[in-house]
Amino acid sequence: MTEHQLEIDWTRCDAHGLCATLLPDDVTLDEWGFPVLRGRRVTPSELTNARRAVLACPALALRLQRS
Ligand code: SF4
């Protein structure tokens, strides 16, 4: 079964924080507002929300990788 994991392109991320709002189980923010990934796999039931968050990232920095 294909598994998915979130990744962040640090050359693009501008600390908008939207990903932590949309995916609170997967992302928290550090003291400067940059995302910290919890490193857990995205479950099949969470995939739709994860894809929405990827599309919503204003900096196109959030990615969903197959593993
Ligand atoms: S929404 Fe995008 S730009 Fe904003 S903190 Fe998350 S990854 Fe970075």
Among 24, 26, 25, 21, residue whose Cα is nearest residue 8: 26
Q: What is the pLDDT of residues 7-58, one digit of tens each?
A: 999 999 999 999 999 999 999 999 999 999 999 999 999 999 999 999 999 9
Residue 38: give its domain's CATH number.
3.30.70.20
Q: Is 66 in a helix, a strand, or coil?
A: strand
CA of 40 to the centre of ligand 1 (A): 18
How many domains, in total, are found in the chain? 1
Residue 1 has pLDDT above 80, yes or no: no
Considering only the C-alpha atoms of the chain, give the largest distance between any 2 of them, rounded to a whole number of Å. 36
Cα separation, 25 vs 29, in Å, equals 12
Q: Which residue among 8, 21, 37 is best mutated to probe the pocket of ligand 1, counting the most ligand atoms within 8 A of its Cβ?
A: 8
Cα separation, 54 vs 19, in Å, equals 8
Q: Which amino acid is at 48?
A: T
What pLDDT is recorded for position 3? 92
Hey, how many other C-beta atoms are within 10 angstroms of the C-beta on 27? Answer: 20
Range of the domain at 60: 4-66
